[in-house]
Amino acid sequence: HEDCITEVKMAYVNFVNHCYVDTEVEMKEIYTSNHIWTLFENFTLDMARVCSKREKRLADPTLEKYVLTVVLDTINAFFSSPFSENSTSLQTHQTIVVQLLQSTTRLLECPWLQQQHKGSVEACIRTLAMVAKGRAISLPMDLDAHISSLLSSGTSCIAAAQRNASNYKATTRAFPRVTPTANQWDYKNIIEKLQDIITALEERLRPLVQAEL
């Protein structure tokens, strides 16, 4: 939802990732459901916001953190999973795969992107590119040429992708954990927002409850 704050997005996506992507459970409904693809579409919107002004860094460190950690990790974890390789829903959502590739490529081109995050972005691009190639997904000529050039010259992205493919579970768990203080603030903020919503609902519903009594 457009009014959803970034902290809630982080908590929700981490929850979905842990329950449906980052677990050992054999029942992988998320790989046959449209829900994850709706999330991916929302990811592209948030990535576009971060890259809205390529030359100028967005004055929203929370959104930037969400995109560069939670979003990239979730994409990498999903498409690196063996369950994803056998997913038939991927064929019907090829457009979203292309959009994710376009979004990550634009993100990599931002001059303000720090070196510590470039490896994650490059790994995400390579993972998506390998999926597109393996599923014979047609890419726009300019995007295909750009990715081919990037992957052939960027040895760092190959190493990053290999690390991600073999350790994607550990990565998805570790990345969002920046510092205990930061996470405590995130969840405290979420709880406060939820309490505000509950209070507002109680005030609205009180007349109805009294009428019933």
Max CA pair span of the chain: 73
Residues 155 and 191 in one domain: no
* Number of domain units in the chain: 2
Domain presence at residue 10: yes
Closest CA to 4 of 54, 33, 28, 39: 39
Of 35-39, 106-110, 152-156, 162-166, least confident by mean pLDDT is 162-166
Contact 76, 171 (CB under 8 A): yes
Domain presence at residue 97: yes
Spell out the residues 6+ positions from residue 135 whose beta carbon is closer than 8 angstroms to its own.
90, 91, 94, 97
* C-alpha span between 64 and 99 (Å, rounded): 19
Residues 28 and 71 in one domain: yes
Is residue 113 pLDDT above 80, yes or no? yes
Distances from the Cα of 38 to the Cαs of 1, 42, 93, 127, in angstroms?
A: 11, 6, 10, 19
Q: Which domain holds residue 171?
A: 6-177
Residues 153 and 209 in one domain: no
Residues 55 and 127 in one domain: yes
pLDDT of res. 194: 67
112: tokens are 């303000």
54: tokens are 């390529």
- What is the tens place of the pLDDT at every residue in 175-206? 444 444 444 445 566 666 667 777 777 777 77
- What is the tens place of the pLDDT at every residue in 43-98? 999 999 998 876 677 788 899 999 999 999 999 988 888 777 666 677 788 999 99
What is the chain's alpha carbon radius of gyration, rounded to the nearest angstrom? 19
Closest CA to 92 of 39, 40, 37: 37
Residues 17 and 66 in one domain: yes
* Local structure of residue 177 (DSSP, 8 states): -
pTM greater than the 0.75 cutoff: no
Domain presence at residue 57: yes
Residues 123 and 212 in one domain: no
* C-alpha span between 107 and 52 (Å, rounded): 10
Contact 128, 75 (CB under 8 A): yes
pLDDT of res. 153: 66
Residues 155 and 61 in one domain: yes
